[in-house]
Amino acid sequence: MVKEIATKHDCSPCSYLSLFLSLDHSLTPMENSDTNTPTTAEAEVAHDFPGLIRVFTDGRIQRFKGTDVVPPSTPTTHPVSSKDVNLNPHSTLSARLFLPTLPSINTNHRRSLPLLVYFHGGGFCTSSPFTSTYHHYIAAVAAEAKLVAVSVQYRLAPEHPIPAAYEDSWAALQWVASHRSNAGPEPWLNENVDFGRVFLAGDSAGANIVHNLTMLLGDPDWDIGIDILGVCLVHPYFWGSVPLGSETMDLDRKAFVNRLWPFVCPESPDNDDPRINPVGEGSPSLAWLGCRRVLICVAEKDVLKERGWIYYNALSRSGWMGVVEIKETQGEGHAFHLYDLACDKAQDLIKSLARFFNRDQPPSI
């Protein structure tokens, strides 16, 4: 059943977050409609985001990153196994799972590992868990933190505008929750996961998804039967109509970001929509956030850095009862860690995530 949609500026998180749950997911199958056909002289450019995506007036789309697909068997330098799973028999909603290769502590006990549900970045319009970049990155996180990871594929704009990405992400979270009694469809979750230690994380647009899901989970009406222990927002994609701090000095990147939300969410193109500006006027209080711990990661040279710090300060003052911390990487830009996993700063970021995930590690059996 589809829940009734509330009005956008009600004080409850459901007021706007239910907008991304407006469709029955079983009736909205995911499609792979990416086209990279060479341009023709007749077609004009309708939308152009250099290095990311270009859309032509004849409907053709060129994506310039995040289009490669590697199989789950692709070797990594980390001791993990991986496989792809379908999350909904009525659609192609899917995910890539990662299981660290660990010695059995006691054959009479199931392993009890943290669970990470991860949402990739890409401005809501590019990339997937199946790219080489995310395959190797999530493998590295799963191995370092010794956790099970579910890396979620969601539909992309402009073929599937917002709220499609939110709908798919919510459906994926419901699939995860179906394993809470160790009786779900996926053995890796049934046999290995401690559902008292579930985390959500994402980078850029994926971090935006994590925030919005966690706000929804803070409302008892949207309880899915599991608690979220913590969330990690890595270089989160938040924005607003009024430029802040260093945004005023980086006009080219500011102009790029200004156009992105209206492109991926044409039905609500305002950069102060609460889903993209969670601290703007009319946004629900961050005190609704449905988890106990938050880690925000920002990068010094990222145009989105100011928004991450503002979110940190707003959450700290909101009356939310959890613990929030922030980590800034000096000298680096947006999503730097994805493109050179071996560099010292990327390794430091991955280790910081692992410490966050394992802070409440129970005693070994």
DSSP 22: -
Listed in sequence order, the residues at least 6 apart from 103 whose beta carbon sits closer than 8 Å to its beta carbon are: none
DSSP 161: -
Beta bridge partners of 95: 85, 152
- Closest to 16 (Cα-Cα) out of 258, 194, 211, 157: 211
Looking at the chain, how many residues does it have? 365
Contact status, residue 110 vs residue 102, Cβ threshold 8 Å:
no
CA dist., res. 32 & res. 118, Å (int): 20
DSSP letters spanning 76-109: -SSSEEEEEEES-TTS--EEEEEEE----S-TTS
Characterize 65-90 residue by residue with b for buried, 16 or more Cβ atoms within 10 angstroms of its Cβ, and e for exposed. Answer: ebeeeeebeeebebebebeebebbee
The backbone torsions φ and ψ at residue 294, rounded to the nearest 5 degrees and listed phi first, read: -135, 135
Contact status, residue 315 vs residue 286, Cβ threshold 8 Å:
yes
Number of H helices, E strands in the chain: 8, 11
Out of 169, 204, 283, 285, pick the active-site residue.
204
- The Cα-based distances of 140 to 285, 329, 351 in angstroms read 34, 19, 10
Q: Is the peptide bond before 363 cis (omega within 30 degrees of 0)?
A: no
CA dist., res. 10 & res. 22, Å (int): 17
Q: Is 128 a catalytic residue?
A: no
The backbone torsions φ and ψ at residue 115, rounded to the nearest 5 degrees and listed phi first, read: -120, 130
> Dihedral of CA 20/316/202/302: which sign?
positive
Contact status, residue 139 vs residue 82, Cβ threshold 8 Å:
yes
Active site residues: 204
